[in-house]
Amino acid sequence: MALTTCPECNKQVSDNADTCPNCAYPLTGGGSTQAHGGKIQTVEQRSKRYKLQQLLSCLLIIGSIMAVMFGFSGDDPSPGISAFGTLGIVVGLIWFIIVRFLMWWHHA
Ligand SMILES: [Zn+2]
């Protein structure tokens, strides 16, 4: 097993690897044209990952709001679920803001 240098992050990577374990840069094929295509693919993968995280953070916020409403309503209110839901809303909002910031940062 030989080592090759990743063109994206300049780390030593096994030439058996399809992608760089450090930055997920596609290493198969080689050559400048394919390397250029690989770079575009990496950006697309990153953008998909952000969109997925954005979706997950939205689901966390919605789920947490429902948990808070469930915790406050009914004959048997449970403050534990409400507290957990409030924490979920805060974490979800922070997560959402971070993902939005990273998306803006990489597209700027
Ligand atoms: Zn790399």
| Pair (103, 57) in one structural domain | yes
> Residue 22 Cα, ligand 1 centroid: separation in angstroms?
5
What is the domain count for the chain?
2
| Pair (13, 48) in one structural domain | no
pLDDT at 60: 96
- Output the six-digit token pair for 49: 């990952």
> Residue 27 Cα, ligand 1 centroid: separation in angstroms?
9
| Pair (48, 82) in one structural domain | yes
pTM: 0.55
> Residue 5 Cα, ligand 1 centroid: separation in angstroms?
8
Cβ neighbors of 87 (< 8 A, separation 6 or more) are: 64
| Pair (56, 86) in one structural domain | yes
10 or 75: which carries more pLDDT confidence? Answer: 10
| Pair (50, 97) in one structural domain | yes
Least confident of 19-28, 52-61, 97-106: 19-28
* Residue 11 covered by a domain: yes
End-to-end CA distance of the chain: 39
> Residue 105 Cα, ligand 1 centroid: separation in angstroms?
20
Provide the domain limits for residue 1: 1-30
Residue in the structure block whose two tokens are 């390397």: 35
| Pair (101, 49) in one structural domain | yes
List pLDDT tens digits, range 37-75. Answer: 566 677 778 888 889 999 999 999 999 999 888 887 766
